[in-house]
Chains A and B, each alone.
Chain A
C-alpha cells in the first residue's frame, strides 16, 4: 500500500475546499492509499482495517450464504474507513476526473462518519491505532498461549453480534447523571410504593412532610428530610445503592455479563482471556453503526458527489464520462435494492419537501391531494433539513419517516414478489405491490437486525447462564446454535441455557408421495399456506452436549 502521488493529493485538497464551502464538515487530515488486488486480499477479511488483529478464519473462504451479511456487520469492501485521520483506498489507474468524483463521495462519507450521532462513540479515538495495539497484544498472547487464543477469539466472535450497541450509545445521548433517578425519586416512587407498600393516606402524609421541610429550610430541606427518614428506615440507603448497581447490571449485554461474572474467565490463570474478549467486543461495537446507516451513508455520499462534481470547474469536458459512471452507481435497477439509488433519491426528496415547507403542521393539516401537491411555503430550509437527517438518523428512521406514497410513485417503485413456478422450474418475479406501506415494510425487513438476546438474571443461578431470545417472528438458524452455545459455555465455565422460539413441526409437510419436481400428481388442490405455530424451547449446553426441552 502506498500513498497517492502529490498530483492526486492536490486534487483531493481542492475537493476538500469545495466540499467545505458547500457545508460538509470533516477533519483536515486524511490519508489516501493506492491498493492492489494483493492488498485487498489482506484487507477485506479485516473489514479494510489494516491493523486489525490476525485470526485464522480471515485466511479461509468463509461460507456466507446462510447468514449472509447478518454475520458481518461491517462493510467489507468499503472505500473509506472511519479512522482518525480517515483512510480511503483507490485503484491506481483511475483518471483524474473519476478521482474527483470518488473524492467527493469519500469526503461525504467522512463527513457522515464524523457527524452522524450513531457514530458518536467513534469520535474520540483512532480505531486503527487502537486496533494495532490490540493486534500486538493478541500476537503476544498467541506466542504464549498458542491456539487457545484463537479459541477465545472464535467463541467471542460467536456472540459479538449481541453487543448492546444502543446501551453503549445511550451513555452519550441518554439523560445525564443529574436527571437520573435520585434518592428522592427512589424513595417516593419505588421505596414507599413497591417495598413498603404504604397506604395512600400515609403516602400523602410523607409528601406533605417533605414539602414542609422544603418550605421550612429551603434548599437544604431535602437533606433534613432524609436524615429524618434515615432514622425511620435505616435500610433505605443500602436499598437505594443496591437498586442503582442492579440497574447497571441489567444493562449488561451477553458479552459484558460473561466478562463480569464468569467464574472461568475470572480465574487467575484465565484473566488474559478477558482482554481478548474485550477486544472482540470493542471491535464489534465500533462497526455497529456502519451497517445501520448503509442507505443513509451511501445516499448522502451519492447526493454530494453528484452535486459537487457538477459544480467543479476542474473537470470540464468529462460530463459524459461522469454521467455514465454516476448513473451506473445510482440507477434504480429493475429488480433489486440499490442503497445508493434509494438513499440519494430520498435525500433529494427530503430537501425538496423541506424547501417547500412540507414538514410542517400546516402541511399535515391539508387533506386535499391537489393542494398538497402544489403546496409551497418557500421556506428554503432544504439544505438544513438534509444536514439534520445526516446528523440524527439511521437507516430505520430514514425509511420509516420518508418513504411515502409520493416517493414510491415518483420513482415508480414497487415490491417485487418471487414465485416458484413448479411446472417450468423458474422463479417468477412479479409486481407485488405499489403501496408505500408495503414498500416501506419490505425495506425495513431487509435491514440488518440481529436477534435480541439478553441474559435473564433471575434464571441465571446455580452457575447456569440463562439466555433469552426475544421472539420477533423468526427462529434462529438451527445449525449454528450448538457451536455458538458451546463457545459461550467455554467462556462461561458452566452450563448455558438458551430460551428461544421454534416452529412446531406439523407432521410431514407434504402428503406421502413420490416427489419428482416438475411432475405434479393429478389431484392436489392448492391449499392455503398452513398457519405457522410457534413454541418456546430451551436449549441447554452442558459439557459440550446440547439438549432441548419444550416449555409448556
Chain B
C-alpha cells in the first residue's frame, strides 16, 4: 500500500467523509496495480471454445492457407460506398447498418495505426448462449484430452483485460490477421462529416502546408481571366510616354493613345497558401484504480475517436498533449502511452487541471493557440465538493476554447450522481459558460454510436 496515498487519505478523513466516499477511497487505496504499459505479447493460446468446433476448416488445416486478407485499397473504397449506403438507409427509414468500430491501435513512438474495419452484423433470431455464464463466473464448457484428475486446473488464460485500456489492442478483435490497416485518416474521414472544433478563433496564425485558396491575385500581361483596367491604363500611359506620344502631361487625350497587345494586364487565378488557426488539444484521462474496466474503456474509446478525427480534419495542424492523473498528474509523451497505461491509485482531479493550467501558463500557449481540453473520468474524486478542482476549472475556462468532460458512470454502486458530476453541476459553470464547458455522462453500457453522440455534445 502506498504511504503517500494513506497520509492523503488520513487528511481527508479528518476533514470528514461520508460513508460512501470513504468506501470508494478505501477501495482505491487497496487496489493493487501500477501504471505499467501492457506487455507487447498479451493473450494465451487457448481458443475460445465456442469457436472451436466449426472454426476448423480444410483450407487452413490441410493446406495451411490462412484466411484471406483484404487489401488496403478495398477498404478505402468500401468505406465511401458504405457511408453512402447508410445515408440512403436513413432516407428510406431504416436504421444504419455500418458500424465504425473502435479502431485505433496505438503504436510506440507516435506511429499510431487505426485499424479501420467497417463492419456490420447480419441480424437474425439467434440463441443467446451467454446469458448465464456472466453471472456465474463460469464460462462455456469445451472438450479436452490427456491426463489430469477431475477438478485439476490444466491451464490458464488471462481474462481479456478490457479495463486496461486497450491492452490486447482495443478493436483488435478476434480476427487478428484479418485487419485492414491504415492510418488514422480513415476513421477521421468518417467522423469528420459530423464534427468541427468549436469556437475556433484567429490566434497566432501559421501557414498551412497543404491547404490552398485560389485567388485572382497574380497579374499577367496579354491574356488572363479578368482585365485589370486600372493596371492596364497605367501600362498604356507608360508605354505612350516612352513613345513620346504624350507631349502635355496635364492634358492627355485618350483617343490619341496607342495600345499594344501586351499592355493589357489581366488577373489570373493563382494558388495561395492559406493561413490557419493553431489549436492544441489536451487529452486528460483519469487512470486511478476505480477506472478499472468499462469506464477506462469508454473514456479511451471516445478519446481515440476524437484523436482520429482531429488528425484527419485538421491534417495534423492540431497539436495534442496527453495528461494522465491519479492523485498526481503527469504528462505522457504520446498517444500510445496515454492509451495503454494501466489503472491504479487514487483520484484527484484537481491535480490534472492544475497541471494543464501550469503547462498553458509556462509555455504561454494562450496567445498562439486555440486550446481544447477533453477530460475523461468515472466521476470519482477524493476532493469532495470540488474544493480544489472547481477553482482550477475556472482558471482553465479563462483560456480554453472548449472543455469537454466525459464521465463514464458506473451503473452499479452508488445510485447518486458521481462526485465530479455533482460539484460541476453545483458550481453552476455549465449554465454560466455553456459555450466553453460541456459535460457528457456516459452510462456504463454505452456503445459506439453513443460515444459519437457524446462527442457531438462535447464539441457542438
Interface residues, chain A, with chain B CB atoms under 8 Å away: 35, 37-38, 40-41, 44, 56-57, 59-71, 75-80, 89-91, 94, 98, 101-102, 105, 109, 147, 151, 154, 157-162, 291, 294-295, 298, 325, 328-329, 332-340, 342, 411-422, 425-434, 439, 442-443, 445-451, 453, 469, 472, 474-481, 483-484, 486-487, 498, 503, 508-510, 512-519, 529-530, 532, 544
- Cβ-defined contact, A515 with B412, below 8 A: yes
Distance in angstroms from A12 CB to nearest chain B CB is: 15
Residues of chain B within 8 A (CB-CB) of A486 are 94-95
- Cβ-defined contact, B53 with A294, below 8 A: yes
Residues of chain B within 8 A (CB-CB) of A514 are 23-24, 27, 290, 410, 413-414
User: In the complex, A277 Cα to B150 Cα: how many Å?
Assistant: 51
Distance in angstroms from A108 CB to nearest chain B CB is: 11
Residues of chain B within 8 A (CB-CB) of A517 are 163, 292-293
Q: Is B99 part of the contact surface with A, judged by Cβ < 8 Å?
A: yes
Distance in angstroms from B458 CB to nearest chain A CB is: 26
Residues of chain A within 8 A (CB-CB) of B290 are 514, 516
* Partner of B141 from A79, A411, A418, A484 at Cβ < 8 Å: A418
Closest 8 CB pairs of A and B: A418-B139, A79-B58, A40-B68, A77-B57, A480-B123, A332-B145, A420-B137, A69-B54
Q: Mark B122-145, 1 if CB is under 8 A from A, else 0.
A: 111111110110011111111111
User: In the complex, A113 Cα to B307 Cα: how many Å?
Assistant: 53
Q: A448-B54, A484-B124 are in contact. List 10 more A-B contacts (CB 8 A).
A: A61-B70, A66-B121, A68-B54, A80-B58, A416-B49, A439-B143, A474-B129, A475-B131, A516-B293, A518-B32
**Which secondary structure dominates where chain A touches chain B?**
mixed
For residue B129, which residue of chain A has the nearest CB? A474
* Partner of B127 from A40, A79, A449 at Cβ < 8 Å: A449
Best-buried of B30, B142, B415 by chain A (most CB within 10 Å): B142
- Cβ-defined contact, B147 with A412, below 8 A: yes
Q: Is B39 part of the contact surface with A, judged by Cβ < 8 Å?
A: no
Can you list 23 A-B pairs with a CB-CB distance of less than 8 A? A57-B120, A57-B122, A70-B127, A91-B64, A158-B122, A159-B124, A161-B125, A337-B49, A338-B52, A339-B53, A426-B157, A427-B158, A428-B155, A429-B144, A431-B152, A469-B125, A478-B128, A484-B125, A514-B27, A514-B410, A514-B414, A516-B289, A529-B132
Interface size on B, residues (CB 8 A): 102
User: In the complex, A422 Cα to B410 Cα: how many Å?
Assistant: 19
* Partner of B125 from A335, A418, A480 at Cβ < 8 Å: A480
User: In the complex, A484 Cα to B101 Cα: how many Å?
Assistant: 21
Best-buried of A91, A336, A412 by chain B (most CB within 10 Å): A336
- Cβ-defined contact, A295 with B155, below 8 A: no
- Cβ-defined contact, B58 with A429, below 8 A: no
Distance in angstroms from A146 CB to nearest chain B CB is: 9
For residue B138, which residue of chain A has the nearest CB? A419
Report the number of A-B residue pairs with Cβ-Cβ less than 8 Å. 348
- Cβ-defined contact, B125 with A481, below 8 A: yes
User: In the complex, A164 Cα to B194 Cα: how many Å?
Assistant: 45
Distance in angstroms from A27 CB to nearest chain B CB is: 20
* Beta-carbon contacts under 8 Å, B163-183 to A: 163, 173-175, 178, 180
- Cβ-defined contact, A329 with B126, below 8 A: no
User: In the complex, A450 Cα to B58 Cα: how many Å?
Assistant: 24
Residues of chain A within 8 A (CB-CB) of B95 are 483, 486
Residues of chain B within 8 A (CB-CB) of A516 are 27-28, 31, 289-290, 292-293
Q: Is B1 part of the contact surface with A, judged by Cβ < 8 Å?
A: no
Q: Is B76 part of the contact surface with A, judged by Cβ < 8 Å?
A: no
- Cβ-defined contact, B412 with A512, below 8 A: yes
* Beta-carbon contacts under 8 Å, B5-43 to A: 23-24, 27-28, 30-33
* Partner of B52 from A157, A336, A413 at Cβ < 8 Å: A336
User: In the complex, A102 Cα to B137 Cα: how many Å?
Assistant: 42
Best-buried of B49, B98, B124, B135 by chain A (most CB within 10 Å): B124
Distance in angstroms from A388 CB to nearest chain B CB is: 24
User: In the complex, A12 Cα to B374 Cα: how many Å?
Assistant: 65
Distance in angstroms from B57 CB to nearest chain A CB is: 4
Residues of chain A within 8 A (CB-CB) of B412 are 508, 510, 512-513, 515
- Cβ-defined contact, A474 with B144, below 8 A: no
Residues of chain B within 8 A (CB-CB) of A101 are 62
User: In the complex, A336 Cα to B149 Cα: how many Å?
Assistant: 18
User: In the complex, A60 Cα to B77 Cα: how many Å?
Assistant: 11
Q: Is B255 part of the contact surface with A, judged by Cβ < 8 Å?
A: no
User: In the complex, A291 Cα to B56 Cα: how many Å?
Assistant: 12
Distance in angstroms from B93 CB to nearest chain A CB is: 7
Known: A418-B138, A476-B125, A480-B124. A44 touches B67 (CB 8 A): yes
Known: A446-B50, A514-B290. A342 touches B143 (CB 8 A): yes
Residues of chain B within 8 A (CB-CB) of A160 are 124
- Cβ-defined contact, A337 with B142, below 8 A: yes
